[in-house]
Amino acid sequence: MKLFIDDANTEQIRRLYDLYPVDGVTTNPSILYKSGRDPKEVLSEIRSIIGNDPLFVQAVPLDAEGMIEDAVAITEAFGRETIVKIPSIPEGFKAMKKLKEMGITTCGTVVYTPMQAYLAAKAGASYVAPYVNRIDNMGYDGIAVTKEIHDILVRNDMDCIVLAASFKNSQQVKELCAYGVGSATAAPDVIDGFVRNAAIDQAVSDFCTDFAKIDGAEKTMKDYLK
């Protein structure tokens, strides 16, 4: 499963890129608003941090023509490795079909139902993004919906993978990772939560304490091996 950072905070992106094996960055209009910065400026900085890794940027208009114009502007500004998120609504499917012909990679976003994802994949999207936690909040099972979408894509041999999004905890991500969905995007705090565990910290600390007891000094292996 590919793992993306769902954020536009460049300090956090630098930190996570330094520490973890992440694959890219996803954004949406709300995330860009929350960054408090000019969209072009912040997205350019993210592009410079992540190199040629996938960067997801959403088209804002709600009509196909406007979505296509935004998609062209986005890929011209941030490169062909940039994936354009298109809302999975009727005008969005129209835009996805055209963008596929134009060679622009898209992600069908705002996915709440399996058949929305099916239409986006059929329209040429390379990713479909179900909103796990938001589906849960509606009283449905976001994990089950996402697994169903994954099954639809695989069983129909569609050239499209799940980009599971909207997580509130690492357990939700783990369930989809174990199921083998293609990719997931999570906020920095959720990614940090994969390894936030007092037992892990204690075990690591115990190893250091025991090793220091060998001759009463804080040495590492290299001190003994020189």
Q: Which is nearer to ligand G3P, 111 or 216 (CB)?
A: 111
Note whether 4 binds ligand G3P by CB under 6 A: no
What is the total count of residues that contact ligand G3P (CB under 6 A)? Answer: 9
Contact with ligand G3P (CB under 6 A) among 3, 4, 5, 6? 6
Question: Least distance (Å) from ligand G3P to the CB of residue 128?
Answer: 12
Note whether 133 binds ligand G3P by CB under 6 A: yes
Measured CA distances, 5 to 17, 48, 86, 107, 163 (Å): 9, 15, 18, 15, 12
Catalytic positions, please?
85
Residue whose C-alpha is closest to residue 24's, from 39, 41, 2: 2
Question: Least distance (Å) from ligand G3P to the CB of residue 42?
Answer: 15
Q: Which is nearer to ligand G3P, 104 or 135 (CB)?
A: 135
Question: Least distance (Å) from ligand G3P to the CB of residue 9?
Answer: 14
Note whether 165 binds ligand G3P by CB under 6 A: yes
Taking each helix axis from N to C terminus, what angle separates 142-155 and 170-179, rounded to the nearest 10 degrees?
20
Q: Which is nearer to ligand G3P, 37 or 211 (CB)?
A: 37
Measured CA distances, 165 to 29, 38, 92, 186 (Å): 14, 24, 19, 6
Integer distance in angstroms from the first to the last C-alpha of the chain? 40
**Residue ranges that bind ligand G3P, judged by CB under 6 A:** 6, 26, 28, 131, 133-134, 165-166, 185
